[in-house]
Structures are given as C-alpha cells and as structure tokens.
Amino acid sequence: MARIIVVTSGKGGVGKTTTSAALSTGLARHGYKTVVVDFDIGLRNLDLVMGCERRVVYDFINVINGEAGLNQALIKDKNTDNLFILPASQTRDKDALTPEGVDKVLTALSEEFDYIVCDSPAGIERGALMALYHADEAIITTNPEVSSVRDSDRILGILHSKSKRAEQNLEPIREHLLLTRYDANRVARDEMLDVKDVEDILAIPLLGVIPEDTDVLKASNQGIPVINIPESNAGLAYDDAVKRLLGEQCPMRFLDVPRKGIFQRLFGGQS
Amino acid sequence: MSLLEAFLRRQRRQPSGSSAAIARERLQIIVTHQRAGQNDPGYIPAMKQDILEVIRKYVHVGEEHVNINFENHDDVSILELNVTLPEDRAMDVDVS
Ligand SMILES: Nc1ncnc2c1ncn2[C@@H]1O[C@H](COP(=O)(O)OP(=O)(O)OP(=O)(O)O)[C@@H](O)[C@H]1O
Ligand SMILES: [Mg+2]
C-alpha cells in the first residue's frame, strides 16, 4: 500500500511542480519506490522539470481510457533509481480525468509503489479536486504573500470537506506547510511575511522553508530537479524537507540573512 | 540575526506600518472571514440581497448593517439575521 501525497496550493505558480519533482526524487533517493503523477491535464510541465519530455509516449488519460497499460505509460527516471513519472496529457479535455479513472490508476499504482506524489494543478476545479481526493498527506505549498496564504487556507478547507478521508470520516489527511520562494533579506527588511506569520495564520505544522534561489530556474532549464543540483540552497532545503517527511528531525535553514564577510560589508553594496 | 538586527526589526514592527505588518493584518481578517463562510449554503449571498431589499422598503439600511450568520451544529443549523437599524427610526418610506 502506497502512501499518497498531494502537492497543492490553490494559487498558481507558487512552486508545486518544482516541489513535486524535488520531493519525489528525494523519497526515491532514500530508497522508496516512488511515482510522481502529473494532474495538470492540458498544461503538463512535470515532464519538463524532470527532463523526460522526449520520452513521453502514453499518458495518464491513455491509461484511464484503457488505451495503454500503466507500464507503458510510466517513465523510469534516468538519473534516480526507484523513481517513475506518470505524465499528464497535453491536449485532451479535462473531463477525461474521471473519479473512477483516477481511482483505478491510483489503486493500481498503490500496489507497486511506496509513495505516490500527486502534482496538483492550480485552482479548485476538477483537476485539483481529483489530485487531493485520495491523499493521505498534503503538502500545502505557499509563498509568503497575501493571495497565496489566502488560497492555501481555502485549500485546507477543501481538504477538510471534499477529500476521501473527510467524506468517509477516516483519520484526517496529514497536512504540512511548505513555505517556498522565501527571501530572508526581504523578511529582515519587514517587506515580506515571515515563517511565523504564515504558520500562525494557517496553523498547520511546518515541513520546510525553501529559499528563493536562482538555481531553481537553472535546474528547470536543464530538466533536472533542483534537489539534484549539488550545493544549491533550494536543493538542500528540499533535502531537509524530505527527511522531515520521513520523520527525521532537522533544524530549519536559510531563515536568516547570511552573515556578510568583512570585505562584503565594507565594499559590497546592497544585497 | 544579531541582537541589534533583532532589536531594529522589533522597532520596525511596532508601529505596524511596514508592508509585512499590513499583509499580516489583512490576512488575519481575510482568513477569519473565509473560514466563517466556508460551510455556508450557496444561497446565502442571494438570500441576503433579497432580505436587504425587503427591509429597504421600510428602512434605509446599507449592506453593512445586515449581518447573516449560518451555524452548523450536530443536529441543527441556525440561521441568524442581525439588522442594525439607523438611529432615526422614523420611516420615511411610504407604506401603502
Ligand atoms: N524556490 C524558488 N526560487 C526561485 N524560483 C522558484 C522557486 N520555486 C519555484 N520557482 C519558479 O517559480 C515558477 C513556478 O514554479 P512551478 O512551476 O513549480 O509552480 P506551480 O505551482 O507548479 O505552477 P502551476 O500552478 O502553474 O502549476 C517557475 O518559474 C519556477 O522556476
Ligand atoms: Mg505546476
């Protein structure tokens, strides 16, 4: 039986796909057989972030429609053992993502994998609801920004009312706050909400804080999950988040402005 | 963070004029409001408009004077309607 994790947010462009790619890679590197599923029908980009776009032959909808078997659609990651990708379709209509179809595919994946990571589309429409319905855990991906926090709160409400666990009165979904694109400099200047503010408002446990990092773009340019870029701050922060997800304790990093050396303090302008 | 930095930050936070402080305050209100309305049946906004129109036939009240609260308990749902009437209660609307 796999554990199903949804990466969700309500608001678009906050870092769900970046996070799905990083967390699934991290889980696989810890030895867990992991599949990452793209629920963003019509706008797939998980395959681009994972760098497997040219190997997509069949997709999620093909499997739902019985046009391909799961093993034909699953793409084995070329850099990380134990990691597979189930791409979304690029062109088909969203209604093809039926509750029965999703249920069938996740049930089949559940038998083969330890973790299923679901990359949710933005919004609160069908795709997002399908992605969160079966979840055991939810990664609430949030930027320190008013609209993103509001939408995260909205998604929490939906998890509480529209998920399978809510509908069937089962043990509630385990919720995790993942604060991404965090800019410690701006927080120090009091221009940006800080971790504590967002934690207080959303009132769910903090899984991690991912700093704003230019390496994220570099990684996606190359089609490599940022967790595989050595020494990148965002990658290290995702590493920590994976450990915490697996129950390890580790201190939060990148919350404070890096201390400047004497030369930088004397000669370096603004940062 | 150095002590000085922490102190300066605290100082800046006090007047709650910084943009982060404003964001924080707005969010607290937005989220409270959002959570309160989460389990409301979908017809509440339309019903509020209808009720408002009925009341306005007799008294001049604004949208902000009508407060509708919907509460769900285990076996009962309570619909609470609060209308704040203006100081001058004299009806200047013809009721015929
Ligand atoms: N920590 C970060 N630092 C800098 N840039 C980031 C970071 N995380 C994400 N980004 C950038 O933000 C953009 C949106 O990221 P991503 O595609 O992961 O978001 P999304 O939530 O999946 O978007 P959508 O809602 O459209 O699916 C990308 O350009 C990505 O490179
Ligand atoms: Mg995405």
pLDDT exceeds cutoff 60 at A269: no
**Across all residues in chain A, what is the average pLDDT?**
94
- Which chain B residues have a beta carbon less than 8 Å from that of A146? 23, 26-27, 30
Instruction: Give residue-wise pLDDT tens across range A158-211.
Output: 999 999 999 999 999 999 999 999 999 999 999 999 999 999 999 999 999 999
Q: Are A247 and A72 within 8 A, CB to CB? A: no
CA of A176 to the centre of ligand 1 (A): 18
pTM of structure: 0.84
* Measured distance CA(A195)–CA(A198) in Å, rounded: 5
**pLDDT tens track for A49-86:** 999 999 999 999 999 999 999 999 999 999 999 999 99
CA A18 to CA A110: how far, in whole Å? Answer: 23
Name every residue whose Cβ is closer than 8 Å to that of residue B79 and which is 6 or more positions away in sequence.
Answer: B68, B69, B70
The confidence band for A91, taking pLDDT boundaries of 50, 70 and 90, is: confident
* Residues A51/A53/A57/A61 CA torsion (nearest 10 deg): 100
Asked if A257 lies within 8 A of B30 by C-beta distance, the reply is no
Q: What is the ipTM of this complex?
A: 0.81
Q: How many angstroms separate the CA of residue B45 from the nearest CA in chain A?
A: 18
Q: Is the pLDDT of residue A260 over 90?
A: no
Ligand 1 atom with the smallest distance to the CA of A21 is 18
Q: Is A217 near ligand 1, meaning CB less than 6 Å away?
A: yes
Compute how many other C-beta atoms are within 10 angstroms of the C-beta atom of residue A66: 9
Taking CA–CA distances from B2, the nearest residue in chain A reads A259
How many residues are given for chain B?
A: 96
Regions in chain B scoring below 70 on pLDDT: 1-16, 88-96
In this structure, which residues have their CB less than 5 angstroms from ion ligand 2? A 16-17
pLDDT at A245 > cutoff 60: yes
Rounded to 5 degrees, φ, ψ at B93 are -110, 135
Average pLDDT over residues A136-156: 97
Quick check: A33 pLDDT over 50?
yes
- Give residue A201's Cα distance to chain centre: 21
